[in-house]
With several copies, the nearest count.
Chain A
Amino acid sequence: MSRITYREALNQAMCEEMENDDRVFLMGEEVAEYNGAYKVSQGMLEKFGPKRVIDTPITELGFAGLGVGAAMAGLKPVIEFMTWNFAILALDQIVNAAAKMKYMSGGQYSVPMVFRGAGGSAARVGAQHSQALENWLVNVPGLKVVMPSNPADAKGLLKAAIRDNDTVCFIENEINYGDIGEVPDGEYIIPLGRADIKRAGRDVTIVAHSRMVGYALAAAEELARQGIDAEVIDPRTIRPLDENTILTSVAKTNRAVVVEEGWRFCGIGAEISARIMERGFDDLDAPVARVTGKDVPMAYAENLERLTMPSVAEIVEAVRVVCGRA
């Protein structure tokens, strides 16, 4: 165990996997000589050399597709998008090539690779740099979508993602890069597809992922002061979703609130709400509530940005409503 940042945990995961397996390489904009736009790849060029840590031109579609071809040829690429916002240019390769390749080729070609980078809205970066692409990626069979919320998960999940033989979209959060936490040294793997109960509670289930886990835990503390004991579940892997852990919790609490930073319409909260409807309807004492980013493009102004994001207060309020305490 050592106390390191989320950023360092990701770096450790990549370094360890690159030492284990020389088919693994890291490619993206500014990952090598600049040590990463967000310094996630700090020192990796020095450690692994220019053949395995590679700076690209600003051509997301091109190098994403390069990664797909390299994976088809037997390598294990880790392709970094400086942020996931820019991956919108590369979706054809992620969705039409990587996700569908194994099926289209009758199982002959698999695409074992990781697309990773920072997702979410960061701070004050405006409408075009605040896209929650996970809402689209989880729609696609063939992809796995992972979103770690703390340093230990970041390491354990990224190592699992790199070892996985499928295409994994690994979405980090810029705001979390500096977060510090206890991280197991060396070999530490968190299997994909397993949710984690970040806080046990009896009265209500709060499901949140990525940056929103921190908000949910803060809300849970406030709710505890108000006499409401919230359970906080972090799916960690969004696709495929570990619905059993969520349903088991709801069977116990009979109430649920789903929190997400992204847009509401066809967001992950909608899917989770629909699944609880389908499999946990009789357990529900109240309708599942969603707390989401507002249905607007992200504004630059500090006050508008704050209003656009979900807040701890909104989560608390939603829980109180669901618990009939509003």
Chain B
Amino acid sequence: MVAKQKQVKAKGLTHEGRDYSAKTLHEMHDMMLYIRRFEEKAGQMYGLKKIGGFCHLCNGQEAVCVGMEHASESTDYVMTSYRDHGHILARGSDPTAVMAELLGRAGGVVKGKGGSMHMFDVEKNFAGGNGIVGEQVPIGIGFAFSSWYRNDGRVTICFIGDGGVNQGAVYESFNIASLWKLPVVFVIENNQYAMGTSIGRASAETHLFKRGISFKVPGMQIDGMDVLEVERKMSEAIAHARSGEGPIIVEAMTYRYRGHSMSDPATYRTRAEVDEWRSGRDPIARLQQQMIGAGLGTEESFKEKDREIKKAVAKMVKDAEAQPEPDPSELWTDIYCDPIEGAYPYPGKVG
């Protein structure tokens, strides 16, 4: 994508000295809006009990994963926590497969076996979808290690939350990545709450980009509500990692509009606080204003686009719902690559 931005179109816009083609801007906008509508739909389906278990939406945080996607190569590796719908959609996975996963259908991106928290798409180099807070960080440096080992020029982009960043595994990983100069960008999505715990109640050092200092990992704080800033700063960070200079931390300041999960009323935040972010700093509205200013759209054209996307989402959900549940035989698949005949499945009679 970096390449793409070089061949700047007649129309487009220049922001902080960086040129964005109309095509790129529309891609960013449309993807953010698609994720927003996708999550709203997921929320509805959860309300209708068609989605079960834990379901964590990313409304408000769309700029982080979309900006990341535009700054990265499709060959780069990406992994995150259980709040993964936006990331896998931004990576370009089939939305129908993602929704089918939420519905627990056979055509789900992981065959209905993972659900909301465990989305994976090996084709898109998206490695989850991890439910244990912090777990993806050691895994992330493993992907980065493989790039170092093979010298394949790939970068790993590993997301963590502001609560997850306190896990010890994160610092074991910072130290190893820094010591061996592994090509990894640690993106801390600082939405300022870990469930009901505001960052100040969980972190002694609340400037999370400084969490690498003790391990010589540089860090920067960016506005996670501005997709162009995310794209620009993530490009710098990814270039740093790709150049062999080692890991870098990007703290993206953002906010989740909804509760932690569908079962969280989020009474621990004031209406005023939510509104300040929601109406004051919304990443989609912001990009729309910038594009309108550059003559790349109008209030009306964006309304029209929104109608299109809502239609597309509605159709997508229908297609996903039309899918059958996984075949019961799937219960016993994907456990071993080399199952041992006669000894597995255990006990033998089943399956």
Chain B proximity mask over A291-319: 1 for CB below 8 Å, otherwise 0? 00011110111111001100000000000
A66 interface neighbour in B142, B164, B166, Cβ under 8 Å: B142
On whether the beta carbons of B345 and A295 are closer than 8 Å, the reply is yes
A131 to chain B, nearest CB (A): 10
On whether the beta carbons of B176 and A107 are closer than 8 Å, the reply is no
Is A55's beta carbon under 8 Å from chain B?
A: yes
On whether the beta carbons of A108 and B115 are closer than 8 Å, the reply is no
Q: How far is the CA of A85 from the CA of B202 in the complex (A)?
A: 21
Task: Name the residue of chain A whose CB is nearest to the CB of B125.
Answer: A73
Number of A interface residues at 8 Å Cβ cutoff, please give it: 82
Which of A119-127, A149-157, A224-232, A251-259 binds B?
Answer: A119-127
Task: Please provide the chain B residues from 127 to 173 with a CB less than 8 Å away from any CB of chain A in the complex.
Answer: 127-135, 137-147, 149-150, 163-164, 166-169, 172-173
Which of B28-36, B227-235, B247-255, B326-334 binds A?
Answer: B326-334
On whether the beta carbons of A92 and B328 are closer than 8 Å, the reply is no
Task: Name the residue of chain B whose CB is nearest to the CB of A102.
Answer: B334
On whether the beta carbons of B334 and A25 are closer than 8 Å, the reply is no
On whether the beta carbons of B338 and A165 are closer than 8 Å, the reply is yes
On whether the beta carbons of B334 and A193 are closer than 8 Å, the reply is no
Number of B interface residues at 8 Å Cβ cutoff, please give it: 82
On whether the beta carbons of A304 and B328 are closer than 8 Å, the reply is yes
On whether the beta carbons of A68 and B142 are closer than 8 Å, the reply is yes
Q: How far is the CA of A75 from the CA of B176 in the complex (A)?
A: 18
Chain B proximity mask over A71-102: 1 for CB below 8 Å, otherwise 0? 11111000000000110110011001100001
A193 interface neighbour in B194, B268, B340, Cβ under 8 Å: B340
Is B92's beta carbon under 8 Å from chain A?
A: no
Is B86's beta carbon under 8 Å from chain A?
A: no
Residues of A within 8 A of B150 (CB): 75
If the complex has contacts A56-B176, A59-B167, A240-B346, are A65 and B129 also in contact, measured as CB distance less than 8 A? no
On whether the beta carbons of B137 and A55 are closer than 8 Å, the reply is no
On whether the beta carbons of B326 and A129 are closer than 8 Å, the reply is no
On whether the beta carbons of B122 and A104 are closer than 8 Å, the reply is no
Is B195's beta carbon under 8 Å from chain A?
A: yes
Task: Please provide the chain B residues from 305 to 351 with a CB less than 8 Å away from any CB of chain A in the complex.
Answer: 325-326, 328, 330-338, 340, 342-347, 350
If the complex has contacts A106-B108, A106-B114, are A61 and B326 also in contact, measured as CB distance less than 8 A? no
A102 interface neighbour in B127, B325, B335, B340, Cβ under 8 Å: B335
On whether the beta carbons of B120 and A71 are closer than 8 Å, the reply is no
SS of B interface (majority): loop
On whether the beta carbons of A106 and B146 are closer than 8 Å, the reply is no
On whether the beta carbons of A65 and B335 are closer than 8 Å, the reply is no
On whether the beta carbons of A124 and B167 are closer than 8 Å, the reply is no
Is A192's beta carbon under 8 Å from chain B?
A: yes
On whether the beta carbons of A307 and B331 are closer than 8 Å, the reply is yes
If the complex has contacts A70-B149, A105-B114, are A128 and B132 also in contact, measured as CB distance less than 8 A? yes
- 17 CB-based A-B contacts, threshold 8 Å: A34-B197, A61-B172, A69-B145, A72-B142, A75-B149, A75-B150, A102-B337, A105-B334, A106-B120, A109-B120, A112-B337, A125-B54, A127-B131, A241-B346, A244-B342, A296-B332, A301-B105
Q: Besides the contacts A107-B334, A240-B344, what 9 more A-B pairs have beta carbons closer than 8 Å? A: A61-B138, A75-B146, A104-B110, A105-B114, A123-B52, A264-B346, A294-B331, A296-B332, A303-B325
- Hey, which bits of chain B sit against chain A, CB under 8 A? 52-54, 77, 101, 104-105, 108-118, 120-122, 127-135, 137-147, 149-150, 163-164, 166-169, 172-173, 175-176, 179, 194-197, 201-203, 268, 325-326, 328, 330-338, 340, 342-347, 350
